[in-house]
Amino acid sequence: MTRVVILISGRGSNMASLLAASDSGALPAKIVAVIANRPDAQGLLTAAARGVATGVVDHRLFAEREQFDSALAAAIEVFAPDLVVLAGFMRILGADFVRRFDGRLINIHPSLLPAFPGLHTHRRALAEGVRIHGCTVHFVTADLDHGPVIIQAAVPVLDGDDEDLLAARVLAQEHVIYPQAVRWFAEGRLRVHAGRVLLESAPDGAGVLIAPLPDPCPPC
């Protein structure tokens, strides 16, 4: 069974969705540890209550990012993971760390990449007036928020949305697609070719998403 280590920085809502999927048997993977870069990360309590090993590598104790990355990698390797999952992990990881876990390091980002990499994605989506927003699970590369895309979910941007309303709508979809991405990885169905993720037995892609929906009976 695929061994998974999850990295968090805060409450870990995506971590909780993965734990729930694993506990229910919907995820053919075992979450062997949750590691945070902050000792006060609330998700650590959630993981410990589920009987999952936890650890902290506090980034504030390291003068250089490379030192933190090295200590974090060592803490991860103790659990011999097949996959490392970033779930709200709010630290930029260096190229050496990414190379060490190449092909087995994934992240979820609250936008439809390559749109809106970085922070404040919902605020920026609203400011740009986009009609479709969403979230992306991708393999991590040294290029921030630009790794090969595994799965995306789109949501409509509604009139009257603010940051909180849009963020909540996107987060609900994050909890759907992250377990799906981990499941595909655990089943050995993902392959990266020429910077693109190929999925064995993928859907035919015939569906189309339009947001907002046009009037069902526009005026003549």
Catalytic positions are 109
What tokens were used for 132? 């479709």
What tokens were used for 85? 């999952």
Bridge partners for 190 per DSSP: 199
**CA–CA distances in Å: residue 89 to residues 132, 179, 212:** 25, 17, 32
What tokens were used for 79? 């659990």
Q: Which of 47, 50, 91 shows the shortest CA–CA distance to 73?
A: 91
| Letter string b/e over residues 154-163, b meaning 16 or more CB atoms within 10 A of that residue's CB | bbbbeeebee
Contact indicator for 138, 106 with CB cutoff of 8 Å: yes
Helix axes 163-186, 13-24, angle to 10 degrees: 40
Contact indicator for 197, 189 with CB cutoff of 8 Å: no
Contact indicator for 118, 144 with CB cutoff of 8 Å: yes
